[in-house]
Structure 1
Amino acid sequence: MRRPVLLGLTGAAALAFTLSAGGARGAAASCLAAWLVLVALPVGALPVTVVAERFGRKVRERGGTEMMAALRRLMTLMPAAALLGLPVIAAALPLYPWMSASPRTALAAVWFTAPFFFLRALAYLVAWTFLCLRFARPFDDPGEGRTVPAVALHAVVGTLFAIDCVAALDPRLDSALLGLLLMTAWSGLAFAAAILLAWEEPEPIGRNRVVPGRGRLIPLVVLLGLWAYMHSVQALIVWSANLPQEVAWYMARGGWAGRTLAIVAGIVALLAGLATLRPGRVTTRALAAGALFVHALEMFWLVTPALRDRFVLRLTDGAAALAVACLAAALTPPLSALLGRFQAPQAGPARSGRKPSRPARTGGTP
């Protein structure tokens, strides 16, 4: 218990510094962005794990066991992320413009209220926690009855969460792509983290031999390519249509810091695509570290300019990230132990997809 206590005290000290240095509003924005990085780890790992369960036998045959174990480890962070999200979202409520604006429609008078917003956020966190705990267990046989509803629920919850908790901070951007873009960034962040966490698996030999690192690099490249494409299309639509409010949204996220982040993100995506020509374990892990760095900063790029009207990293952002990381690390072991008591034990070991062989007879009547 000494380690959780030390982590908790460190997180509390970092949070106190964030409050004293950034004020209530500044600390709320920094903590919200840092919490989005935390929640991206389990929520981003969820759809990858769900898809892998659907093709479970192929994943195991191609040496994805260690990656799946790392993704499931990330999904165990969801209870702690949900518990930390409640005070973070409550503290961030004053940051939303609709808190001080009068409703224009009857639906807005109900939808844009603090109690209903908090209830929606609670429902999102409960749904994600349920899905993460369910798919954090090793899968047995592929099951469409589990995977298809899980993907649909995750898509609905992720879209609504992006609109309510991220897009509503700065309503100048009216984008239908933001929800899908945010979920893709989360999956890329989680997959990159899983690459860095997973042990290297032995190379297959014979006909099934593959280039080391290729099995992990290709999904990372696909996620990075899809994410970069959606960013490019959204920016192109805004600038080509010359939409004043949307342009102002991008201008607030420009400056030297925003342009540097965009250049680094483009370099990482381009190098990832080029690395497929000559993949390797070291190259894959280096690109995963770059993708993790870019996606983590992207959460601050989305959130903090809503309050500061420009993208710039401050000391309070680092302190908030430290506070969220330490508090999550302190809460995860006791929450996992508590939830483990309520989970029913598995009926038996996971099957490999083959029918059990009948024991051989040794003679005599059966």
Structure 2
Amino acid sequence: MMKKPIGLSLVVILILPMLAPPVAGEWETDSWLSNVIGPERLALGDEFGCHGYEGLDILEDPWTIAACRDYLSDLTEASRWGAAPISFGLKGVQLDEGASTALLDAKFEIVGDGPTGYSDGLTYFESNGGSLELNLANRSLLESPEQHSLISIEWMARMHDLKVREDGGLVSWLEEQEVWFTTWGEWAHHRISGSRVEYSTAGDSITASLESSTTWNVPGTIELHFHEGVMRVVDSNDTDFPLIDSGERHLRVGWREIPDGAVLTMEPGTNLTIELDGEPKSVEVVPLPTFNGLHHSVTVVGHHTTNLFHWSSDFQDSQLRFTWLIERPSAEGVGWLLPVLAASILLAVPFAVRYLVSRDEMTSIAPMSE
């Protein structure tokens, strides 16, 4: 009669661990963000944004939005223009009001590569350039884009632990184009800065000024139209402002002369004086959305970047610039089966021993009773 309750107890002991609630997830840290590769990419002009936590949905777990920001900020600055991350990847997420509020509370400004839904107060960038994966780019758009547009090309180095093959021919072709290689945050704030440049004239000089920024300190570009020749361009310390070559494709401050004026890229918080060879009869200032008067802009967006080494290793010498959407990787566990078996065996052994001892005692008593 004792066998049934003891057997039932053993079954319960074996099943209980499987029915127990799962333990909270453990998370790894991508040390490449702070060591070697991260600083190198930052110095080149790349941007680091966020993509949440691996395997978790920001709609169900909105805490991952601020947590991803903190994780990233502990390891690296977001850009050479600003420390705090401002870009967040959606990749198919339909934002609701709660997630949108969480993004704004975490000081994110840009969302992209997915349907936004509720996105009041956020700037949305479309994933329009296809993928950098072999034969998956939007070549028609890349070959005939609108002027001053931004093309975002997706990149994922790993899918289900399999290495993705990049389109080397496309990369080589892109690097030959006269376009601005930029990032989401840089592109957005460059546009803002350019629209805020103010100017005045006095005699044979034009003064351009750009107030300081409260967020990222990204330069802005303007095109000045006048008929006089430029003698020199100086900053507030009477130091010559650097020249920019017409083929420069990475954002930096400076100026260059054009047939009917000059193109000027200046940093927030600076004042510049353009000295002419005569008093200008008229001056027109036009903000340029695209740096250096280039036709359009391109960025490669690294989605779900859990390992910066894997995602960037094929582009160490590339002219392309990347918006890396960092996702905190989940820890690689050993699976549920082994822990369950170990715990079950550990718990079952004492009961099994007691059962065997009791059975032996009953067996030894039975002949004596006869």
- Calculate the TM-score normalised by the size of structure 1: 0.23
Of Structure 1 and Structure 2, which has the larger fraction of its residues in strand? Answer: 2
Of Structure 1 and Structure 2, which has the larger fraction of its residues in helix? Answer: 1
- Calculate the TM-score normalised by the size of structure 2: 0.23
- For the pair shown, the structure with the greater C-alpha radius of gyration is 2
